[in-house]
Amino acid sequence: MKKISIVGIGETVMGRHPERSLHDLVREAGNKAIEDAGIDKKQIDALFIGNFNSSYLCGQGHMGPLASEALGLENIPTVRTEGACASGSLALRMAMLGILSGAYKIALVGGVEKMTHQPGATVTSAIASAMDCEHEAMQGFTFPACFAMMANRYFYEYRNVKREMGLCAYNAHQNGLLNPDAQMRKEFTLEKILSAELIADPLSLFDCSLVTDGAAFVLLASDDVADGLRSGRRRVDIIGQGHAGDTLTLAAKDKITSFSASRAAAAQAYAQAGVGAADIDLAEVHDCFTITQIINTEDLGFFEHGKGGDAVAEGITALRGKKPINTSGGLKSKGHPIGATGLSQIYEIVTQLRGEAGERQIAKADTGLAHNLGGTAATCVITVMQGR
Amino acid sequence: MKKISIVGIGETVMGRHPERSLHDLVREAGNKAIEDAGIDKKQIDALFIGNFNSSYLCGQGHMGPLASEALGLENIPTVRTEGACASGSLALRMAMLGILSGAYKIALVGGVEKMTHQPGATVTSAIASAMDCEHEAMQGFTFPACFAMMANRYFYEYRNVKREMGLCAYNAHQNGLLNPDAQMRKEFTLEKILSAELIADPLSLFDCSLVTDGAAFVLLASDDVADGLRSGRRRVDIIGQGHAGDTLTLAAKDKITSFSASRAAAAQAYAQAGVGAADIDLAEVHDCFTITQIINTEDLGFFEHGKGGDAVAEGITALRGKKPINTSGGLKSKGHPIGATGLSQIYEIVTQLRGEAGERQIAKADTGLAHNLGGTAATCVITVMQGR
C-alpha cells in the first residue's frame, strides 16, 4: 500500500461538556489537528466525519457540513460515516480510500459525540440502535446484556476471568490518571472494582465503559505532501489497515468468544503492513467492556485464544508491560465518545509514536495498532501505524 | 478517471410499506441489483449504504451489517454514509473511491429509508436534523420554510415562476404515471396544482416532494471485471463525478438562488467526464421542491440563471422535450425515500441509457446525469453516466 501520513492530531478533553455544542467540540479538536500539522486550511481537500447517533441524541444529522462550517472550510466535500462505535474509524477508512484513489491529497478526519446531556434511558435507547432493533433491541436486549452473554460463554469455553476483567479496569484507570484528556482520572483498588454492583451478570460497574462527550480529529496527507511538511516531529505513517464485518445479530454469529470481523481485519492490516502481532509495540483496543478487551487481544494474535486473561494477570498488558494495551486509559477511563472513539485511539498511538505521551510514554514505541469495533462486533477497522 | 461500470440495478416500488421492515426493503432492492448483474454474491467485496435517519425514525443505526446480513453477504466490510438527502449518493461516491483506490473490484451500493409509519410531526423533526439544529431547527425553521425563502428571493432577483413551478409538478406527475415504481401515479391538472393549499408561501402542496418508504441499489464493478460480465444489456459507465459542500446554515451562504455546492460538483463532474451541459441527454435532478428543480437546472448549466422557468414553460424539460428532467417522476411523484433517493436517480438514468424505460423511454439516451442535494444545498453529488 502507498503510505499515508498522519500529519496532525487534536482532541478535546473527554467527559461531560453540558455547556458545549457539537460545533464547539468539533471546532476545538479540528483546529488543534490543523494547527498541529501547520498547514493552511485552504489546503484541505475533503472532510470525513464519524458520528454515531447525534440524530437521536441532539436532533442533529448532516454532520459533514456542520463541521466544515464550524471550522471555516469552504465548499469542500464532506461525508458522515456511521458504523456504531466504529463510526470514527470508518471516517478514517473512507479518507484513506479517497487519498489512495488520487481524489484527495489532504483530508481532515474527525469524530464527535455528545451524549451526557440526555437521561440514561435515552442514552440506552440511542446505543441500542447499534444492534438489530427489530430482532434484538425490541426484544429487550441491551449492550451490557449482549457482552455479558459473551463473557459467560467465554467462562464456559475457557475459564472464569472475572478477576482479570477487573484488572483490565484497574490498568485502564491507572493509565487514565496519566492522561490529561481522560474523563475519569481516579484511582480505584482492585477490591473496589471487583466488589462493585452487577450490571449484567457477570459484568459489574467497572466492566463497562463510560458515557462521554468529546471530539477527536486527525489530518491525513499523501506521502508526497507529507514530505513537504516540516513539523520537527517524528513522522507517523499508516502502513496497513483492515476493515471487515460480521452479521448484525448476535444469534447469527458462528462464535461469540472470538470476533470474525476482528480476525479478518487484523489479517488484512498485518498483511498490508508487512508486520505481525509480535511487532506491535502498543495497541489501543476497543474495551467497550473488559471482556471485549480480553477477546480483542486474542483476536489480534497478541495472545492465544483463552489466554488473554493470563496475559493481563501477568502484567503484560499494563503500561510498563511487554505489550501495553490502552495506554490512553481506553474507553473505560479515557471515555467513549462513540463517534470520536476510533480517532481518539489514533490520537493516542500517534502521541506515543511521537514520544509525546508524557508520564504515560512507553519506552519503545515504533509500531502501534488501533482496533475499533462497532456493535456486537459487526464492524471492525484495524489500523497499523509506524514512526519513521 | 478510470471508468467504473454500473453492472446491476434494483429498487423497490416507492411508497407506503407499513408491513415491510428495513430488512425487507434492503433484501428486495439489493437482490434485484445482484441478480440483474448476474454475479455470485461471493464476488462482492464491500457494501456501502446510504441512510438518512432510521436512527430516529426506526431506532435503527448500523445499517451496514444489517444490510449485509439481510442479503447473506458474509464478513464483507460495510459502511453507512449520511449527508441528509444526499446520503445515497455519498454511498456511491465512497464506493467509487474504494474501487478507484484498488481496494475493491465489485461494490454493492444501496440506500434505504422507512418514514411513513411515523406521524407527520415526527417526520418533520427527523428531516429537520438535516439543517443546523441549534441555529435553525430550534428557532422554528422547517425545510419548506427554507426553500420558500429561496423561492421568494428567486422571484425578487428574477421573476415570479410560481406557474412554472406548478408545471414542474405537472410534468413530474405525468412522468410518474409511466413509472411502475412511482409512489403517486396520478394525473393532476395544472389548475388543481396551482390552486392547492399553501404550505410555506409561495410553496403550495404540489411544490413539495413526498414522504416515502423504499430502497434502491446499484452494483459497481471496475472496468476489467465488467468486461467479463456478459449481460446482453448495454453497458453503462460512470464517466465523471463531482462532490462538493457548502455551509450547513442558510444564513452563512453567499447566495440562495444558486447553490455553490451544485456548481462546484458540476464543474468537477463535467471536467472528469469530458462532456458539457449540452451533451447531457437527460437528467434526474433533486426536486425536493419545485423551485429546487428550477435552480438545479440552472446550476447544472442547462439553462441560464433566471431562465430555468422559461425552459419549463417551453416544454424543454418535459418527457418529450429537448432536455427531459426527472423522467422517473422525480422526488415529487416517484417519491423521496431520503437515503435511497440518490441511488433511485441512478436507477432511472441506467434504465433509460439501457433503453429499458418502457413507455417513458426517451428517444436519445446516451449520456445522463444524476444530481443529488442534501439539506439546504450543503452537500451535492453529481454523477455523469454514459452507455456504450
Taking CA atoms, A188 is separated from A206, A289, A320, in Å, by 10, 17, 18
B162: three-class secondary structure by DSSP: helix
Please give the domain boundaries of chain B with CATH numbers for all domains: 4-118+211-227 (3.40.47.10)
Q: What is the DSSP letter of B139?
A: G
pTM exceeds 0.95, yes or no: yes
Structure confidence at residue A1 (pLDDT):
67
Determine the residue of chain B that is closest to A125 in CA distance. Answer: B59
Catalytic residue among A58, A85, A288, A380: A85
Question: B308: exposed, middle or buried (C-beta count within 10 Å: 0-12, 13-18, 19+)?
Answer: buried
Taking CA atoms, A29 is separated from A13, A313, B293, in Å, by 9, 36, 38
User: In which region does residue A69 sit, left (phi positive, over 0), alpha (psi from -120 to 50) or beta (all else)?
Assistant: alpha
Are A340 and A265 in contact, with CB atoms under 8 Å apart?
no
CB atoms B60 and A129 under 8 Å: yes
Long-range contacts of B40-44 (CB under 8 A, 24+ apart): B41/B71, B41/B72, B41/B73, B42/B74, B43/B105, B43/B106, B44/B73, B44/B76, B44/B106, B44/B107, B44/B108, B44/B219
Structure confidence at residue A286 (pLDDT):
98
Percent of chain B whose pLDDT exceeds 70: 99
* Angle between helices B338-353 and B87-100 in degrees, nearest 10: 60
CB atoms A56 and B52 under 8 Å: no
Taking CA atoms, B190 is separated from A249, B154, B184, B193, B201, in Å, by 50, 21, 16, 5, 18
Segment 94-133 of chain A within 8 Å of chain B by CB: 94, 96-98, 100-103, 125-126, 128-133
Question: Which helix (DSSP H) or strand (DSSP E) does residue A273 occupy?
Answer: helix A260-273
CB atoms A131 and B62 under 8 Å: yes
Average pLDDT of the residues in B49-65: 98
Segment 177-196 of chain B within 8 Å of chain A by CB: none
Mean pLDDT by 10 residues, chain A (388 residues): 91 98 98 96 98 97 98 95 98 98 98 97 96 96 97 98 98 98 97 98 98 98 88 91 98 96 98 98 98 98 98 98 98 98 98 98 98 98 97
B371 labelled catalytic? no
Q: What is the ipTM of this complex?
A: 0.98
CB atoms B62 and A260 under 8 Å: no
CA distance B261 to B96: 19
**pLDDT per position as a tens digit, B271-285:** 999 999 999 999 999
Structure confidence at residue B3 (pLDDT):
82
CA distance B226 to B107: 12
Q: What's the alpha-carbon Rg for chain A, to the nearest Å?
A: 19
B336 labelled catalytic? yes
Paired residues of A243 in beta bridges = A381
CB atoms A62 and B248 under 8 Å: yes
CA of B387 vs chain A CAs: smallest distance (Å): 24
CA distance B293 to B262: 12
Q: Is B244 on the interface with A (CB under 8 A)?
A: yes
3-state DSSP: chain A helix, strand, coil percent, rounded to 5?
A: 40, 20, 40
Mean per-residue pLDDT over chain B, rounded: 97
Confidence of residue B231 (pLDDT cuts 50, 70, 90): confident
Taking CA atoms, A2 is separated from A39, A102, A219, A241, B345, in Å, by 22, 11, 17, 11, 34
Structure confidence at residue A118 (pLDDT):
97
**pLDDT per position as a tens digit, B298-325:** 999 999 999 999 999 999 999 999 999 9
β-pairing verdict for B106-113 and B78-82: unpaired
Q: Is the pLDDT of residue B53 over 80?
A: yes
β-pairing verdict for A106-113 and A46-50: parallel
Residue A214: closest CA among A88, A306, A126, A305? A88
Structure confidence at residue B1 (pLDDT):
66
The angle subtended at Cα A385 by Cα A380 and Cα A386, nearest 5°, is 160
Residue A248, number of CB atoms within 10 A of its CB = 31
Structure confidence at residue B233 (pLDDT):
86
User: Residue written as cell 479518507?
Assistant: A95
Q: Is B142 on the interface with A (CB under 8 A)?
A: no
A43: three-class secondary structure by DSSP: helix
CA distance B108 to B198: 41
CA distance A104 to A295: 36
CB atoms B82 and A63 under 8 Å: yes
CA within 13 Å, CB half, A93: 36
Catalytic residue among B173, B243, B286, B336: B336
Q: What's the alpha-carbon Rg for chain B, to the nearest Å?
A: 19
Residue A83: closest CA among A46, A111, A121, A124? A111
Structure confidence at residue B228 (pLDDT):
86
Q: Is B272 on the interface with A (CB under 8 A)?
A: no
β-pairing verdict for B203-204 and A46-50: unpaired
CA distance A96 to B196: 50
